[in-house]
C-alpha cells in the first residue's frame, strides 16, 4: 500500500510530537511555562531539523538524502505541535494530569 507523502507525514509527526511532548512536560513544572519558552522550543526543533538535513548531506556518504521538503515538513510539524499544545492548555486550563 502506497501512502502519498508518507515520509513528509512522518517528519511532521515526529517534530510535532517533539514540541508537543516537551511543551507538555515543561507545562507540568509550576510557574516555568511561558509562551516565549514554547516558541523557543519550536525554533530549536526547526533548527534541529535543518541541521540534521545538512548532516545527512555532508556526513553520511550519500546513504541518506538531503531535502528542503523534509526541512519544511519538520518546521510545519513543529509549528503544528505548538498550536496543539496551546489548544490543549487553553481548552482544559488545568495543570494537566497533576
What confidence tens digit (pLDDT) does each residue in 25-83 have? 888 787 778 889 999 999 999 999 999 999 888 887 767 788 899 999 999 999 999 99
For residues 77 and 81, give the distance between their C-alpha atoms in angstroms, rounded to a whole number.
6
Burial label for 88, CB within 10 Å (0-12, 13-18, 19+), is middle
pLDDT at 95: 55
pLDDT at 35: 87
C-alpha 32: how far from chain center: 20
pTM beyond 0.75, yes or no? yes
Cβ neighbours around 73 below 10 Å, total? 23
Amino acid at each position: 500500500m502506497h501512502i502519498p507523502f508518507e515520509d513528509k507525514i512522518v517528519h511532521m509527526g515526529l517534530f510535532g510530537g517533539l514540541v508537543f511532548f516537551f511543551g507538555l512536560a515543561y507545562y507540568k513544572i509550576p510557574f516555568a511555562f511561558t509562551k516565549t519558552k514554547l516558541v523557543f522550543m519550536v525554533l530549536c526543533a526547526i533548527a534541529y531539523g535543518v541541521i540534521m538535513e545538512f548532516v545527512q548531506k555532508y556526513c553520511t556518504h550519500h546513504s541518506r538524502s538531503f531535502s528542503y521538503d523534509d526541512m519544511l515538513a519538520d518546521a510545519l510539524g513543529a509549528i503544528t505541535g505548538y498550536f496543539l499544545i496551546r489548544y490543549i492548555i487553553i481548552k482544559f486550563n488545568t495543570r494537566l494530569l497533576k
